[in-house]
Each structure stands twice: as C-alpha cells, then as structure tokens.
Amino acid sequence: MARIVQKFGGTSVADMTRIKAVAVTVKRELDAGNQVAVVLSAMAGVTDQLVGYAAQTGSVFDAREYDVVVSTGEQVTVGLLALCLQNLGVTARSWLGWQVPISTDGVHGKARIKAIEAKELRRRMATGEVPVVAGFQGFGPDNRITTLGRGGSDTSAVALAAALEADRCDIYTDVEGVYTCDPRIVAKARKIDKITYEEMLELASLGAKVLQTRSVVLAMRMGVRLHVRSSYSDVPGTLVVDEDEIVEHEMVSGIAYSRDEAKITLVKVRDKPGVAAAIFGPLADASINVDMIVQNVSADGKATDITFTVPRGELKRTVETLEAKRKQLGYADLISDANVAKISVIGVGMRSHAGVAQRMFKTLGEKGINIQVISTSEIKVSVLVAEEYTELALRALHSAYGLDSE
C-alpha cells in the first residue's frame, strides 16, 4: 500500500470526457490498493478567460478580487471530478483551499504555501475516500482566497504530498515524461527513467516546461518523489528523485535549449570598481533578469567589454534602461542581438566525469558553430550560439554524449 498524490493539469481536465478519464485513472490506483489524493487545475483555457475578464475591469488591480475570480476554475473541476468518481463507486469529496485549509501568506496573486492541515484528509484516505483538492489556491491570513501564481497547481500537489507524507506525487501531463532533448527537434530523444531534482530544475528553467520550477524546488526541499507521466497512457514516465536513489549516473542526462534569449554588449565600459553594480543595479530595479554575464579582460586596464543575456521580451526595456544611463556608465557603444539561443548540457554525472565541457566545445567546433558566451555550474554547461544553429547543435550534442536511442 502506498499513499499517492495525483495531479492533473488543464489539458487533462479540458472537458467532461477527459475528466471522466481522470476518474478512471484515479480508480485504477485505488484498485491497486493505494490511498489517493487528487489535485486539479482548471479546464484548459478557463483561467485565461477569467484573467481576461479581470483585465477588462480597468486599470486598478486589486489582487484580492483577482484571486476571487480566477480561483473559480479549479473549484469547478474538483466538484465535477468528485461527482465522476462517485459515479464509479468511489467515495470522493472536493476540498477548496479554505476548507483544507491550505494556509498561505497574504501575497495575493502569487501567494506561498505556509502550512497544510492534512490530518482530516489522512483520516479519510485511510477509509478509502479520495480527497479532490483544488490546486492553485490557498487561504490567506485575511480570511480570503489566495492564488499561487500561474502553474501553481504543481506546487499545490507537491506541498500536499509533503503534508500527507505521500510516497509519490504523480504529475499527469500531456507528455510521457522528461526527455533527453526536445523530441520535436531531436528524433532520437529518449524518455529519461530517473532524474535528480537538480537536473530537473535546470531542464525546467531552460524551457522544458513539464514542471513548474517552484514545484521542483519544493519537492527537493521536502523530499517528495515526483513521477511525471502521461494522462493518455499508463506507461511509466520519469521519476524525479534524490540523487541517492539513482545508482548509475549518466555523464549527461539531457540537452536543453532556450530561444528566449537576447544578448547585449556594452563596448568600452570604464573598468573601475562598482561598474558592474552601476549596470546591473538599474536592471534589477526594473525587474529584468540578467542571466549569462561575461566581462572581457581589458588590455589597457582602462576599459572593458561586458556581454550579458536577458529574456528576449525584455530586450527593448533593457536597452532603454541602459541608454538612459549612458552618460553615467560611460560606454562607447551598445550592441544587441535577439537572434541567439542558449544550449545547455545537464547532468549530475559531470561532477565525476571530466571533460564534459571539452566535448561540448569540440562537438560544436566540428560543426562550425561559434560559441558566443559560456557559463557553467556544477551540473550544467551552457553556451550561447546564433539561433539558426539551434537544431544542428542539439542533434550533434545529443549524439556526442551517447544519448541517442537505438
């Protein structure tokens, strides 16, 4: 007997046919002798519609009322799934954030979960009852509904799994698991059976949007084992677990990419203490996330070139912000390039395998792909290349690290 939290996203509950299919999936787990709690998103598209309504009300934005409106999508699906489960003979009951309660802080629109009262849920699960819990929503200290921000249902599921001390948190989605690379680009991409939280985080933050980054961080911190799997089939998906659970580490687990990048170079910036703060301070104030940063050593010790990347959608704002500070920063020129992509090889195995970065540079060099910026972390090597080389680079690296399926 295992205790399992199952989370189904918007496409998995998009209409009544899909919700009924979810009920069958839940029942299968129960019939296997397990205790199950379910966390649901809203029907695909519904939250967007509600956000649209709220946006039409005017320029005054009160996140308290926004939360009242946008939290209704999950309320609908949990009630409907409870009914569908009952129709399969399963005892089920819906739970809203304020009923559990799922206590959050008071930051409406992007609240953080503080605590989940799980005793009553556990008592009911022990009798075979299935709690169907609304994702994305919580209960604030002001006696009002809060929401966790977009994609918050993953976080709800992980937090609930932790509170229930569940053996596993199954994240049902429209893909079969996490892949070694984007299968739309690399035909030989393989489904990964097991991956560490750290690797999953790097993949998630690089645009392999299977799991919300926040939920992976939470799972790692709380030690919740995640199982990313398909709501269309019952084949095993990808387990996201602690490093200890993985016996044999591949050198590289996966290759990720992001086209959401833009590069900026400030030419001949005065090379003196505090210049980096002078550049990146205003960007931070403008809530612009700077990612890769390279500072060239200056030949004469007086001026240096600084290159960095920002999300492509922020390029215009970034340029404006820096132009406004031009006098103060004293740079000679500002060059921007939106046609770049970030390619990353990821794997906890690199810690014990030398030469991962070297193989990356060599492989890209052989294909004639110029590396513009490099950044590394303990489990990741990322390079910035011209966007047009993205597919070529991914396929070459996927082969070079032995990830291709037979």
Please, which residues have CB within 8 angstroms of residue 125's CB and are 6 or more apart in sequence? 3, 35, 36, 37, 131, 164
Work out the burial of residue 58: count CB atoms within 10 Å of its CB; fewer than 13 is exposed, 13-18 middle, 19 or more buried: exposed
Based on the shown chain and the rule CB under 8 A, indicate whether residue 144 belongs to the binding site for a second copy.
Answer: yes
Based on the shown chain and the rule CB under 8 A, indicate whether residue 61 belongs to the binding site for a second copy.
Answer: yes
Binding-site string for a second copy from residue 96 to residue 135, where x marks contact by CB under 8 A and - marks none = x-xx------------------------------------
Instruction: Report whether 150 contacts 140 (CB < 8 A).
Output: no
State which residue, 68 or 288, has the beta carbon closest to a second copy: 68
Smallest gap from residue 27 Cβ to a second copy (A): 13
Q: Which of 5, 22, 38, 78 contacts a second copy by CB under 8 A?
A: 78
State which residue, 61 or 302, has the beta carbon closest to a second copy: 61
Based on the shown chain and the rule CB under 8 A, indicate whether residue 16 belongs to the binding site for a second copy.
Answer: yes
Q: Which of 1, 31, 33, 56 contacts a second copy by CB under 8 A?
A: 56
Smallest gap from residue 99 Cβ to a second copy (A): 7
State which residue, 67 or 198, has the beta carbon closest to a second copy: 67
The Cα–Cα gap between 208 and 53 comes to: 30
Q: Which of 21, 34, 79, 376 contacts a second copy by CB under 8 A?
A: 79
Based on the shown chain and the rule CB under 8 A, indicate whether residue 65 belongs to the binding site for a second copy.
Answer: yes
Based on the shown chain and the rule CB under 8 A, indicate whether residue 68 belongs to the binding site for a second copy.
Answer: yes
- Size of interface with a second copy, in residues (CB under 8 A): 39
Smallest gap from residue 148 Cβ to a second copy (A): 17
Q: Which of 31, 33, 143, 184 contacts a second copy by CB under 8 A?
A: 143
Q: Which of 21, 50, 267, 319 contacts a second copy by CB under 8 A?
A: 50
State which residue, 87 or 328, has the beta carbon closest to a second copy: 87
Provide the binding-site residues for a second copy, judged by CB under 8 A: 16, 19-20, 50, 53-54, 56-62, 64-69, 71-72, 75-76, 78-80, 82-84, 86-87, 93-94, 96, 98-99, 143-145
